[in-house]
Structure 1
Amino acid sequence: MRVHIIAVSAGGPTGICFAAMFPDRVASLTLQSAVTKPWLKPQDKEYKLGRHIFKPSVEKKTWNMIALINNILPRTTFKLMLPSFSKLRFSEIRERLDEKSLEEFRKMNNRQRSYSGFLIDLEQSQTDYTNELRSIRAPTLVQRSKNDSVVPLTHVEQAQSCIPHAEANVLDS
């Protein structure tokens, strides 16, 4: 059986490693705003904050607090979280969204739990995946929004330069 892999954001390393380790099992690889090389560094404020608010003793409380605020003030929560996802101003994004989209964002936030996942993401983001990327043989699509404020465009460039026949698509979203 061959599988299609979709690796998103900090899930990029897992998808990259699977595609590299099991080339006969991979029909295609899609990297969506995926981490493809060292990303957040231990001295970065996002790294330090993440290590603190998502450590096992605090993680559940962090998500419960976000959900509480999210349910009381969903529009404010969206506006406050927006810079961590997009380079666009709130006014630009608000023009593209309807009330149903804001409600879906609120519901998504209420389902969030990272357990140890975010800490694993931080650890995996310290690794250079150049060798793994070079060994991928599956057809590969690399996508990213030009407005992504989380994973820099250099990660798309890294994947495209290392994966034979990779196709890159930078989206206006």
Structure 2
Amino acid sequence: MLFYGGHMRAGLTLGEEVFTEAGCSVLVPSRPGYGCTPVTTGRSATGFADVTAELCAHLGITRVTAAVGVSGGGPTAVALAARHPDLVERLILQSAVGPLPWPDRRTYRGAQVIFASRTESVTWALVHTIVRHTPDAALRLLLRDLTVLPVRQVVAGLRPEHRATALTLFSRMRSGHGFLNDLADLRTGPDLKRLLAEVSQPSLVIAARHDGAVSFAHALELQAALERAELVESRADSHFVWFGDDWAVIADRVRDFLLSDRRP
């Protein structure tokens, strides 16, 4: 069960092959406000975790190999594992928001303007135009806040396949009402701390120190708060751990984790 982060929805893919190669099927629901999911459908991380459990029951799914949370989707995966332990066997968090204040004030205020209901479509129309006509400029613009390294260095170091993946994603992303809903919900750190304390499943936390969107400190807090967590540090240059030169090694670790029998 895979929960993507901001600006992502069902139909966009990033790194899912690591799960399918381990023999798992992947179910990706659009979180509240993204894709075709109304923002009122389980508006909070805990609310949507409960909706997801109802979806599994409706589909006849009684066991999920792992709840996977990416970036802003991390708290929803945590909530699903905490509130529905009989459903979820493992927890995997990738570049995930943890129990620290997020986002910073500048990001929060900027998002209120450029992703508001009246401006969101214009913002993404402009982004999609830049991606089509000046891809290098688009990558520099969009990766700037996703890395702590000089963005030109990061763009220059992208492999062709990673460059193509990033441009494809950026050309199809939308925020809908989801991103502002995320920002409102993710500012409630104390609730996430409580949920993390209730997770009993084995957990794998994957993060990069060069992540400029969700700092590595979040990963350290997640590891400390989870009872049975392993932290895997990525050498990626940005928020996209899948683009790191060590992703093949990390992917092997993910597959081993998925295939291991580590239930209490």
Q: Which runs of 5+ in 2 are unaligned?
A: 1-61, 237-264
Structure 2 contact 197–225 (Cα < 8 Å) conserved: yes
Q: Could you say which residue in structure 1 is the equivalent of 2:84?
A: 22
Q: Which among 164, 167, 171 is matched to residue 227 of structure 2?
A: 164
- In structure 1, the partner of 2:200 is 137
The structure-2 alpha-carbon separation of the partners of 1:111 and 1:40, relative to structure 1 and needing over 3 Å to count, comes to: same
> 1:91: Cα distance to partner?
4.6
Is contact 2:139-2:155 (8 Å) kept?
Answer: no
Q: Given the alignment of the two structures, is residue 7 of structure 1 paired with residue 72 of structure 2, yes or no? A: no
Identical residues among aligned pairs (%): 30
SS at match of 1:133: helix
Q: Of residues 33, 41, 45 in structure 1, which corresponds to 2:95?
A: 33
* Alignment CA distance shift 1:10-1:58 (3 Å): same
Q: Out of 108, 112, 117, which is 1:56 matched to?
A: 117
Alignment correspondent of 2:133: 72
What's the CA shift for 1:67? Answer: 0.4
Q: Secondary structure at the match of 2:86?
A: helix
Partner of 2:211 in structure 1?
A: 148
SS at match of 1:27: coil
Which amino acid in the other structure matches residue 102 of structure 1? R
- Structure 1 residue runs of 5 or longer lacking an equivalent are none
Please give the alpha-carbon distance, in whole angstroms, between the structure 2 residues aligned to 1:154 and 1:167: 15
How far apart, CA to CA, are the structure 1 residues paired with 2:107 and 2:234? Answer: 25
RMSD of the TM alignment (CA)?
Answer: 1.5
> Among residues 163, 169, 179, which one is paired with 1:118 in the alignment?
179
Assess if the C-alpha contact under 8 Å between 2:209 and 2:215 holds in 1. Answer: no
Structure ranking higher in strand proportion:
1
Partner deviation per Cα, 1:136-168 (whole Å, 9 max, x = no partner): 011100110111011112211211111111001
Q: CA deviation at 1:20?
A: 0.9
Q: What amino acid is the match of 2:73? A: G
What is the rounded CA distance, in whole Å, between the counterparts of 2:173 and 2:228 in structure 1?
Answer: 35
One-letter amino acid matched to 1:171: S
Measured in 2, the distance between the counterparts of 1:58 and 1:91 equals 28
TM-score (structure 2 length as normaliser): 0.61
Letter matched to residue 48 of structure 1: R
Amino acid at match of 2:216: L
Q: Is the 8 A contact 1:75 1:102 kept in 2?
A: no
Is 1:15–1:29's contact at 8 Å kept on the other side of the alignment? yes
| CA deviation profile, 1:61-86 (whole Å, cap 9, x unmatched) | 11111001111110011112222111
Specify whether residues 172 and 76 from structure 1 end up closer, same or farther in structure 2 by C-alpha distance, changes over 3 A only. Answer: same
> What CA distance in whole angstroms lies between the structure 2 residues aligned with 1:88 and 1:59?
28
Tell me, in whole angstroms, the C-alpha distance in 1 between the residues paired with 2:177 and 2:150. 31
Distance of 1:55 and 1:94 partners within structure 2: 29
Matched length: 171
1:121-145: CA deviation from partner (whole Å, max 9, x where unpaired): 1012111211100100111001101
Greater relative contact order, per chain length (Cα 8 Å cut-off, separation 6+): 1
